[in-house]
Structure 1
Amino acid sequence: MEYAIIAAGQGSRLAGEGIETSKPLLRLNGTAMLDRLISIFLANRAESISIIINEEMTDVHEHVKQLKLPVPLHVLIKSTPDSLHSFHELASLIPNRTKLCLTTIDPIFSPLEFSAYIRAFEADNEHDALMAVTDYIDDEKPLYVKTDDDLKVLDFVDTAYEGCRYVSGGVYCFNNKVLNLLQEAVDEGVSRMRNFQRKIVYSGLKVQAHPFSKIIDVDHASDIQKAELFLNEMK
């Protein structure tokens, strides 16, 4: 399995709340969020790890230079206008486009649940995308995921609706059919990952939801304590 991390955001909300550390290096219970993700990926048979970092986060550039991993590490330093364009740039680094797990830098989840998620996609020859979802909703602008009773993804919507249960967790597994849509999406002027997720569904590809009990996004200073408490609960 190939892994990739979008770490190209500005972290402006955290900075505005007095957090000076770049988000990828923000420590939760002593471990940088970037290092935590990399450790989890390595524990789940990573063949390579690719990361995009914006040009302004020089502290992250230096941190990544010091990493010594047992698998190839591909790093792209480039500022992009949004998360989809970050993914588009990042995709060029991925050596094997058969199956990929992509995350943003800030989702905090159970490593055991993540391993089950990866095993499910590795064994899945039917679906083109397996989306991590959760019914724990604690985001200011969540992306709601419409599914049928069998967890087939029908749509992604920005506002809550009657009977809505799941939101997107910022963790995605894709096959090469999804990756091949990237250039088309960029050429059409699509921006942001949430709009690309809609395009995957509207293109007729097979998209399935995979529930996690909880995924916390670290966007605000108050999220740091929530994330650390969650991590402590899993020990």
Structure 2
Amino acid sequence: MKYAIIAAGEGSRLAKEGVNAPKPLVKVNGVCLIDRLISVFMDNHAEQIIVICNSNMTAVSQHLAELKEKGLNGTAVPLEYIVKSTPSSMHSFYEISKYLEDGPFCLTTVDTIFHEKEFAQYIKEFNKCVENGTADGMMGVTDFIDDEKPLYVGADSDMNITGFFDEQNGCKLISGGIYGLTPGAITILRQCIERGDSRMRNFQRALVAAGCRLKARLFSKVLDIDHAGDIAKAEKFLNGES
């Protein structure tokens, strides 16, 4: 399976709070966010890992160049990366979509924090759905809400996704920013770009509107690193302290 990472944000909120490193190079438990994701993806049989980073973050592009040349912790990484500033995460997804047209893939943002064992199980279940032809995608969701603007996810008793909502509307789940998709999603992404949509949540709504069969897969927690205090939260979570 291919994996993709959106790492094109500038991390302006972190910078305002005294975190000097660009977000992909922020360390959690002593490991850069980008390196942690790449390591997790390698542990889950990554055929290729595609990253997009902001053209203003030269330290990140240099880091990626070194990873491509020397590998991660002595292990070669099948890495491709694009250096380009984009107006939104959905536009970043669009820029790397050309690498994702030939098979199922998993996409995340660079600051997505989850337990590795839960992610491994998620990938196994997504692969099984693809092999059986029972779903067009599987979204990582959680009932732990610690997001400033969560995207609520409606799902039936079989965890089939029925909608994505800005308001809670009785939903108990929110999007974790973990997207397991099949190539048909790329066509819908490009339609979204053509009509001027600019948010990942609108892309997800477009998937539902197009009749894509999306499954929700529950994670105990999924955290984002948006503020300086989120780093300590993430470390406690990964260390089993919360």
Matches within 5 A, 1:33-112: 33-67=33-67, 68=71, 70-94=76-100, 97-112=102-117
Instruction: Give the counterpart letter for 1:161 in structure 2.
Output: N
Structure 2 residue ranges without an equivalent (≥5): none
TM-score (ref. length: structure 2): 0.93
Corresponding position of 1:209: 216
Instruction: Give the counterpart letter for 2:40 in structure 1.
Output: I
Count the aligned residue pairs. Answer: 232
Compute the displacement of 1:206 (Å). 0.5
Instruction: Give the counterpart letter for 1:197 in structure 2.
Output: Q
* Contact 1:13/1:220 (8 A) holds in 2: yes
* Contact 1:146/1:155 (8 A) holds in 2: yes
Other structure's SS at 2:162 match: strand
Corresponding position of 1:122: 127
For residues 98-120 of structure 1, the C-alpha deviation after alignment (integer angstroms, 9 at most, x for no partner) is 10000001110000000000001
Other structure's SS at 2:99 match: coil
Q: For the residues of structure 2 that align with 1:192 and 1:121, how far apart are their CA atoms?
A: 24
* Contact 1:146/1:154 (8 A) holds in 2: yes
Other structure's SS at 1:36 match: helix
Which of 221, 230, 233 is the aligned partner of 2:237? 230
Corresponding position of 2:180: 173
Q: For the residues of structure 1 that align with 2:166 and 2:80, how far apart are their CA atoms?
A: 33
Instruction: Give the counterpart letter for 2:164 in structure 1.
Output: F
* Contact 1:24/1:60 (8 A) holds in 2: yes
Corresponding position of 2:141: 133
Compute the displacement of 1:23 (Å). 0.4
Instruction: Give the counterpart letter for 2:153 in structure 1.
Output: V
* Contact 1:97/1:179 (8 A) holds in 2: no
Q: 1:42 to 1:127 in 2, by over 3 A?
A: same
Q: For the residues of structure 1 that align with 2:76 and 2:28, how far apart are their CA atoms?
A: 24
Corresponding position of 1:191: 198
Structure 1 residue ranges without an equivalent (≥5): none
Q: For the residues of structure 1 that align with 2:27 and 2:196, how far apart are their CA atoms?
A: 35
* Contact 1:143/1:156 (8 A) holds in 2: yes
Other structure's SS at 1:108 match: coil
Poorly superposed stretches of 4+, deviation over 4 Å: none
Identity of aligned residues (%): 48
Compute the displacement of 1:97 (Å). 2.5
Corresponding position of 2:118: 113
Whether 1:6 aligns to 2:6 is: yes
Other structure's SS at 2:197 match: coil
Q: For the residues of structure 2 that align with 1:116 and 1:176, how far apart are their CA atoms?
A: 21
Compute the displacement of 1:71 (Å). 4.2
Q: For the residues of structure 2 that align with 1:113 and 1:179, how far apart are their CA atoms?
A: 26
For residues 64-94 of structure 1, the C-alpha deviation after alignment (integer angstroms, 9 at most, x for no partner) is 1111153421110000110111000011233
Corresponding position of 2:152: 144
* Contact 1:47/1:71 (8 A) holds in 2: no
